[in-house]
Amino acid sequence: MTSIRGLLISHMIWKNMNHNAPHKKHSAARHRWQDAIFNKDRLPEAYTWSAETTPGGTAFQRVIRTDTGRTGRVLLYFHGGAYRDGLVPSYRNFSTGFFQAANGCETIYLDYRCAPDYQYPTQLNEALDLWDNLTKRQGYAPDQIILGGDSAGANLALALLLKLRDLNKTMPRAAFCISAWTDMTCNTQSFRDNYGRDVMFGNKGKTLTEERLQALMQGKIFSFLGNADRTDPYVSPIFGDYHGFPPMFFSVGTHEMLYDETLQVVEKLKACQVPVTCEIQPGMFHIYVVFARLVPEGKISYHRLLDFIRESFAR
């Protein structure tokens, strides 16, 4: 049964973030709520962050503990937001858990350029540039790096893994995906079935008609695509081949329109004999793990993710 907090946060997301909800899109109340949830978090005093740029012009942020500095372990993270939203301060607080799980690591956040001004393959090229910067210029071996992301960031993480494999580059030590967005053709059963209960992207109590589907697919959420082929595995990793991938962890909620997209990728990984863990929380919404401070189900899955990171670095 979904927790009371889970139900409350689900309602708040529907009311304040979903573009289908009956509110004014740019209302002051909505902005105040988003600021409270996402933009007011601050790092504990033991941590510091810096904004940096690769020689290739890719922006990123680095979070470290002030008393340890560089530790030889890196968590490379790609944020979500449909490739339209920039990197918000609250993501940095993930770093504290990552540091503790890895017995010390620095977290690198790709601050990719956003759609609609920058479209595919801009973000993938920036991810590859940042990877090369870490492994060639900053001296990190691939097995010192764990890669992760949420939503569009999980899409980008999978795309980068496919690109690294196809370029015969060494893979990271492990990778994880939170509520991965993997199918730009919107052709899974859950994309339709969960439309009426997905509080982030769906329409409460409604059915996904063909007219609504086409409007959604041509809408702002897909603006990063440009003229890209929606079946290209670098765009829709659900169509990828997963041989040679590192151990992976996935989390997803059963109320997500993207639910089946995670399950199908997980099955492909298993078919390729890749060690994979899939964390499923009944009744949970898109990127519920990001709300670990607020939602019990998110806290459970977040700690299981930290266990995966801890065990991966310990191998």
What are the structure tokens assigned to 74, written together? 């890196």
pLDDT along the chain (315 residues), means of 10: 90 80 52 54 82 98 85 94 91 82 89 98 99 96 98 99 99 99 98 96 94 96 97 99 99 98 99 99 96 93 96 93
Predicted local distance difference test score (pLDDT) of residue 24: 43
**Could you report the per-residue pLDDT of 211-226, keeping only the tens digit for each?**
999 999 999 999 999 9
Domain around 153: 4-314
Predicted local distance difference test score (pLDDT) of residue 55: 98
**Which CATH number do you get for residue 278?**
3.40.50.1820
Domain count, the chain: 1
Read off the pTM.
0.94
